[in-house]
Amino acid sequence: NDTAIIVVAAGSGTRLGRGVPKAFAELAGATILEHALRGLVALDASVVVVVPAGLEADASAIAERAGVVASVVAGGAERADSVAAGLAAAGDARWVLVHDAARALTPADQFERVLAALHEGAGAVVPVLPVVDTIRQADDAGLGAIVDRSALRAMQTPQGFDAALLRRAYEAAGDARGRSTDDAQLVQALGEPVLPVAGDELAFKVTTAADAERATSLLEEEAA
């Protein structure tokens, strides 16, 4: 396959607080991982799912239920460690997409926009949304200046890359990758451009219990 999609699902889900790794928590009767994988069914890509060590067999069963042929590997302590594990299993695909399982409702056309930009020659592509909240700087001493939100963008996934470029970015970052929650940032650190494409509100990351409630009602609406 020309394209590999790495679905990172090895986080612990501390903020969601369900007592299971987040991708294995259920929303509207199926795990977050299953919802996320259902969104990949129509794409012509190989899929690598990265899960907490010990949950590989469960993840394979979930992928099968979602109708996706996936290889499953164990992740690491930080998100970037999990991406690196996925990259090691991604074979020789020309393009790699890195996607958060936690963005379980990401519409298929968001994947298509990222892929289209790669096919047009971009080396790194990130779906973004404008920031709607008023944002202030702050520290322990209190609130600071308002940040001009028109100059800000929220990052989503899937982030798409020329595979060789992403591998180079991870090699160059070395141990410093550990603190990165944004793969495109590592590419940018090489001095390479990152192309923004339109994100989608439905690609929000299920992080808190309130996010899970929102995702559940959207899924129930969809099923009704």
Instruction: Please tell me whether residue 15 binds ligand CTP under the rule CB under 6 A.
Output: yes
Interhelix angle 79-88/163-173, rounded to 10 degrees, is 130
Give the x/- contact pattern for ligand CTP in 67-96, rule: CB under 6 A.
Answer: --------xxxxx--x--------------
Instruction: Please tell me whether residue 127 binds ligand CTP under the rule CB under 6 A.
Output: no
Instruction: Please tell me whether residue 10 binds ligand CTP under the rule CB under 6 A.
Output: yes
Selection from Mg ion, ligand CTP, none that 102 binds (CB < 5 to 8 A by kind) is ligand CTP
Q: How far is CA 174 from CA 31, 57, 99, 184, in A?
A: 33, 30, 21, 15
Distance CA 139, CA 128 (A): 26
Q: Which is nearer to Mg ion, 11 or 75 (CB)?
A: 11
Whether the bond between 158 and the residue before it is cis, its omega within 30 degrees of 0, is yes
Segments in the chain forming alpha helices (H): 32-38, 56-66, 79-88, 108-119, 163-173, 183-188, 209-223
Selection from Mg ion, ligand CTP, none that 13 binds (CB < 5 to 8 A by kind) is ligand CTP
Q: Is residue 207 classed as helix, strand or coil in its secondary structure?
A: coil
Instruction: Please tell me whether residue 105 binds ligand CTP under the rule CB under 6 A.
Output: no
Question: Binding ligand CTP by CB under 6 A: which of 100, 113, 122, 155?
Answer: 100
Rule CB under 5 A: which residues touch Mg ion? 11
